[in-house]
Chain A
Amino acid sequence: MLSLRRRDMVCQHAVELVTDYLEDSLSRRDRRRFEAHLRACPNCTAYVEQIRLTIKLAGTIDTDELTPEAKQELGDLYRRWREE
């Protein structure tokens, strides 16, 4: 059985470092090891890409426009609050 060298990172460990990697908060040494792992591992590369897409999609969650009536009510509320 092929034994892993101590400095090799396994996939299960790599996926736990993805956020630290994207947040740029890995130590230089860990960053090097992580990037070396990505270069050698298409699965973890795909995984990081999935996380990036997840983040991108989260940024597209939009908000609906308020109706004109709701805006009218807000204006009334605002004037009342300022008068109180």
Chain B
Amino acid sequence: MVTRLRDGDEEAFVTLVSRYQQPMLRLARCFVPSQAVAEEAVQDTWLGLVRGIEQFEGRSSFKTWLFRILVNRAQSAGSREHASTSLDQLHAVDPARFTSQGQWAEPVDRWIEESEERLDDATWAPILKSALEDLPPRQRQVVILRDVEGLSNDEACVVLGITVGNQRVLLHRGRSQLREILDAKMAKG
């Protein structure tokens, strides 16, 4: 793909944009206050890619490199319009769900046994998508890169410029909160 882009292959470019446009918009949106600014950052990234493809050295995966450019662009766009900070949740699970001894007060649902057919991807993907949008931006960034895009721990740290420890904390909170949202939906049926 990189070789084809270096050769100016238009079809390769279109394929690449088709594949990454939406994941990139989703990621950019974590840094900037509006969809319009996110679109601008993504467009900037594509332009940067076309002009800078020679600089790709293959030390990281192409996807990591592309996302890193995007995060740079989005961060500088985002800091111009200071994004509001939302409250991060501090506990993986609401403390009210435990006894004073720290044990579960009520049994935890078995999603699989109880709702096997309700767990098919087509039903849950849209719910998860909207739950993802409700996460605080920094948690959302990490969950998108790790769980939606399937980047490794190290790759996600490179893209976001954060430490492994910090990444893990954000991932933990993000996943915990997603689980909670799904669990609430599951209970309602």
Contact = CB atoms under 8 A, between A and B. Distances in A.
Interface string B111-133: 11000000101001100110010
A51 B125 contact: no
Contact of B17 (A43, A53, A66): A66
Given A15-B92, A58-B143, A10 B101 contact: yes
Interface in B122-174: 124-125, 128-129, 132, 143, 147-148, 150, 153, 168, 171-172
Interface size class of B (residues with CB under 8 A): 35 or more
Contacts, number: 127
A16 B102 contact: no
Interface residues of A, number: 41
Contacts of A46: 107-111
Name the 6 nearest CB pairs between A and B, nearest first.
A10-B102, A19-B172, A58-B147, A12-B102, A63-B22, A46-B108
Given A15-B93, A66-B17, 20 more contacts: A10-B98, A11-B98, A11-B103, A19-B171, A43-B104, A46-B111, A50-B179, A50-B182, A50-B183, A51-B175, A58-B128, A58-B132, A58-B143, A58-B178, A59-B150, A60-B121, A61-B128, A61-B148, A63-B22, A71-B18
